[in-house]
Chain A
């Protein structure tokens, strides 16, 4: 009785052909064989980004041949990219995880101010660096707590942090720029000491990028980040602790802000409440240009870093060519729009 439904009316033969048909339909899905894989989809925007960088470099070599191609200019591009670059790595995690962190610039400023107060500086450069990282991570944890457990919208929670962290930084520093003291030159050495022609802070940037890439692509934490951003309900029902994971993502972003604070102290030899103004926008723009979906679940660190380099090279080109900053901003705006439009085309083409 249970083997075949008693109410079955169709003949066995019809049944078989029906089944065969269903199988055939399954075996040849729309679009034929495995024409593309996730890797290929990811590769297309990267090729576009690399091309854009090459074109920008060519423009530089043609318009300012004496200055653009020099080693010192290349070093200064990388040194400039390093600070926002570290922040961008954290922002990539948050955005793939379906969130947004507007507070990165302000948190970096607060960390730089806290680390350069006279009280902190007394303890030496290592404590200053640890202090910067702890302040950044702490602010990130607070963001994450408000969002995960306080159920606040990420935009609002981190906007509040942006304003408040900036204010706290101004209060702590009395709106004065705090110099890194002569006893703590170890921090400044990060930008002045060179290995193989590159300042140490560029190596720090590179290490952060590599570790970030490994975490995102080779660990359970990275996998879960994609799952939490792509479909939080599915992630929850698969047994992933979505709230705790979300909180960790913001803490990670804050941690990156702390490292960025060390780099900016090294480069400018100061801690200041004005550091990192509008960094959040540059970081988000870089992530978006790099092909990460603002709705979460999809994106790459390599893309984000390429996006950031494009931005930095544009800034560099405008300065070398003596063009004004207003035009530079217009160009950046156009690039964001163009990048997103091109990505949508390649996305549609592949799906």
Chain B
């Protein structure tokens, strides 16, 4: 075992990324990022959604190749050309969704891909012994190497992922929001493991939105904004929350929001009373009026999408949800559509689109009854309706018969929203991350469309991870944290800084050591 001294300012850092640039079509995801990581430290990476964190860790994992910039390990330039190359250099990445095989044992998972084997026959004894050794090193000797991974708790799986990283002799372990799936007591367990690993000289790059966690486990913080490093090596323990949040906010984004109307809103349209979703949403009550855009701001896992799914009847809930006085029934989306609701889901491709079918068929999917008699489709009317919407929404290229997967994200999203605009009578639109993966131009068009619909009297419930979007588009904002509404206010009364503070569970009163 090597012993690690506390300060190594003389020796080059374990990992140094210099001026990393990564360009995607239409987006400059990384625009000159620097990162210095020392052996044995927990280095936290902070930044809002879209700041470039995921791209950066993918570069580090060998999954993306940077367009320019260099990566040094112990002062030596290295090339992370493939995930395998990255792993050989000692970089292990643990993604949010753990990539474990439930049906295999703990030991088999730990050594998956680099099994101890002779002539193709695995040596189970050796594998199990080696696994036991790693688990003991992590302080989890109680997990048996022969246990099936599917039987472990989320925290146990976290340990196995960590063991797998160590089995590769990882010197740097990247953890992407490792606490998102864990309960509170499990998080402290995770921290214990991280401390054990770093005590042995391994560096951990820790990504989380929760500032309190970063205070507890982190040594230094690097902040990203708009694909650039805006702060390097801040001390995690005593940088004031205010400063961190200021660094993250004020993103240079070209959002153009339509003006809000002067007049008031219509009658109460949607009422949610004491709604709870098991494990995700606790006792939420609010309402949406006709013509009003209500925004839900919150982190991934805060319960915001679950609220929207419950309203749509796509998820089991307790409590009472009514639209125009009619009760929403859990599990019955057909009824919800009949009551005048429409949903543009979070995962556009997985939940919204029939990718192999035409734009027209994607648009008319939810409203076939409108132009069919006893199930027989009037194809002429259908084609007219689809062509009308393609034109009205300015979907490009303006060809209803084009297969939808060939369109850009923004135009696909317009089609998903357009699905609910066939004919009149849609009362409530539920938009979950409507501009994810949408370019700037189409964003402005979607904002304008949503505002126009609201002006026509449609109620809108909007979910977005991008705080400026919620503040810019919504009339009223509900801040969601850990399944509860922690603040409700008119959009004009809130600013990005305040909302981020609330969202990240770092209210100045409770955790900031200085200021105010």
- A interface with B by C-beta (< 8 Å): 1-5, 7-10, 15, 18-23, 25-27, 29-31, 33-34, 36-38, 41, 218-221, 223-224, 226-227, 230-231, 233-241, 297-298, 351
A234 and B411 alpha carbons, distance in the complex (Å): 17
Chain B residues bordering chain A, tally (CB within 8 A): 64
CB distance from B348 to the nearest CB of A (A): 9
CB <8 Å contact, B366 and A2 = no
For residue B103, CB closer than 8 A to chain A, the reply is: no
Q: CB within 8 Å of A: which of B398-451? A: 399, 401-403, 405-408, 410-411, 419, 439-442, 444
Inter-chain contacts of B260 with A (CB < 8 A)? 2
8 Å CB contact of B441 from A7, A26, A238: A26
Q: Beyond the given A38-B357, A226-B357, A239-B338, please list 10 additional residue pairs across the A-B interface where CB-CB is below 8 A.
A: A2-B259, A4-B256, A7-B252, A25-B25, A31-B406, A226-B354, A238-B333, A238-B337, A240-B333, A240-B366
CB distance from A242 to the nearest CB of B (A): 9
Contact: B440 with A220, CB < 8 Å?
A: no
Q: How far is the CA of A29 from the CA of B26 in the complex (A)?
A: 13
Residue of B nearest to A298 (CB): B356
Q: Which residues of B contact A31 (CB under 8 A)?
A: 406
> A237 with B376: in contact, given A5-B257, A220-B368 (CB under 8 Å)?
no
26 CB < 8 A contacts A-B: A2-B472, A3-B258, A5-B255, A7-B252, A8-B254, A9-B252, A15-B254, A19-B441, A22-B26, A22-B441, A25-B439, A29-B396, A29-B407, A31-B406, A37-B358, A37-B402, A38-B358, A38-B401, A41-B403, A219-B377, A226-B361, A231-B351, A234-B365, A239-B336, A239-B366, A241-B334
A7 and B253 contact, Cβ closer than 8 Å, known pairs A2-B259, A237-B345: yes
CA A319 to CA B457, docked complex, whole Å = 71
CB distance from B226 to the nearest CB of A (A): 10
Q: Given A220-B372, A231-B353, A234-B352: A18 and B251 within 8 A (CB)?
A: no
Q: Are the CB atoms of B402 and A34 closer together than 8 Å?
A: yes
List the A side residues contacting B353 at CB < 8 Å.
Answer: 231, 234
Q: Are A37 and B376 touching (Cβ within 8 A)?
A: no
Contact status B351-A2, CB under 8 Å: no
**Is B343 located at the chain interface by the 8 A CB criterion?**
yes
Tell which of B399, B468, B472 touches A34, judged by Cβ atoms closer than 8 Å: B399
Query: What is the number of contacts between chain A and chain B, taking CB atoms within 8 Å?
Result: 159
Selected from A3, A9, A15, the residue in CB contact (under 8 A) with B259 is: A3
In the bound complex, residues from chain B placing their C-beta under 8 Å from that of A241 are 334
CB of B283 closer than 8 Å to a CB of A: no
A27 to B372, CA, bound (A): 33
- Which single member of A9, A10, A20, A218 contacts B377 (CB below 8 Å)? A218
Distance between Cα atoms of A22 and B410 in the complex (Å): 10
- Which residues of the partner chain A approach B411 to less than 8 Å between Cβ atoms? 26
Report the nearest A residue to B440, measured CB to CB: A22
**Residue numbers in A under 8 Å from B338 (CB-CB):** 239
Pick the 9 closest A-B CB pairs, nearest first: A239-B337, A22-B441, A238-B366, A220-B368, A219-B375, A5-B255, A22-B439, A230-B354, A26-B396
> Does B139 touch A at the CB level, under 8 Å?
no
B134-156 contact mask (Cβ, 8 Å, vs A): 1 or 0: 00000000000000000000000
